[in-house]
Chain A
């Protein structure tokens, strides 16, 4: 009889939904948030539960963040190499204050854009919240039972390294194709969706109506 290697990784073969529901509470600024307890959205029904809340992977913020850091240090660099003696001191000080005020606004606006553009998977629907610009929003949703096909894609070195990609849904709803772009753990998201679809099909067969 062969001895089992005690160090061998025991594969967790439980359904993905179960694993997601048992995960400990994620950081409020995480991009993959299982069962977020303090989140509610305006069209959420009373008994509807959020299973997964997803945002674009933090890596997608790197470009604007680095640009912001560059603009943060730019005045320091400029003051070292360029003489601003032609400018009265009060203009230099106020100019600097305005520069950092605008920069703070830029960071804040980009953060808000990332934080609130979310993809939500509930036990009944998938919802895509998109906020464009300052006062334009678009909310799309599709019922789990209308989802016909789930595909995910992870391409490129960076995406493979940080495990983020796109998940596509084909639906029979008004909006035939849904996309969750740049979400973390897309394979896991696809598995959760497939299990939810299976659950819905079983409920339909058993004749249960929510």
Chain B
């Protein structure tokens, strides 16, 4: 009798623990919180968060696993920063040629909201901060870049391959049946008509105006609208040139950015720096998936089919 009771008790505790365990694993981001979310509880003093914006800016997820540095992940992190009262400032560590417009604008909006919440934001450009990356930098309080970094390329690009000659050579023809005149606009398989070019140019101009306004707003007090217009022809600058032109605030490295943000936030002494940690499993899965993706036919097909507007520096075109 006593033995039955003891066994029932032990089994009961174990089964209850399993139920609690399943709940924690499935709902609470248990343990994971410490690695990729900002550790709210562990902040003993005011801190500075560092968010990395590396590589092409785009919304991407694959196989249900977070894609390293995808824009929606950056946005999620920025939202948590906004809510954390202990975080006084943010450094956006940028090393990106830009990316898709939607993704860029989502991050841009989040940065503005962080500033509205009373926090300071500094952009620190490493090797490259062009196009969409610069768009995001314009949302910050100050932009710092290495003297040799590549900055600028303000503009929009929309690249469509024309395979007509190739298909003519191999004797392949596509018959398109469409519901509207512009349904197959940007088709790879024929020459672009003048009216299509005008329509696409309007689309580009609309996207460009949004970029232009963001730069005007971001560089208010430093550059006039006309000066911004002159510099927004897609040209690139080194960090030194960018400082002379007025499109960045300071030439300096990452450490200079940390010192600047500390000063802007009014933090005395050394602040606590919170950098994003990536779980080792994520790193392995992410890198392996990236490697497979970049060397597969599926990736080639995906990129050939990918027709979209980008705020991105593409020197190959």
Q: Do A and B come from one complex?
A: no
| Chain A contacts to B: CB under 8 angstroms | none
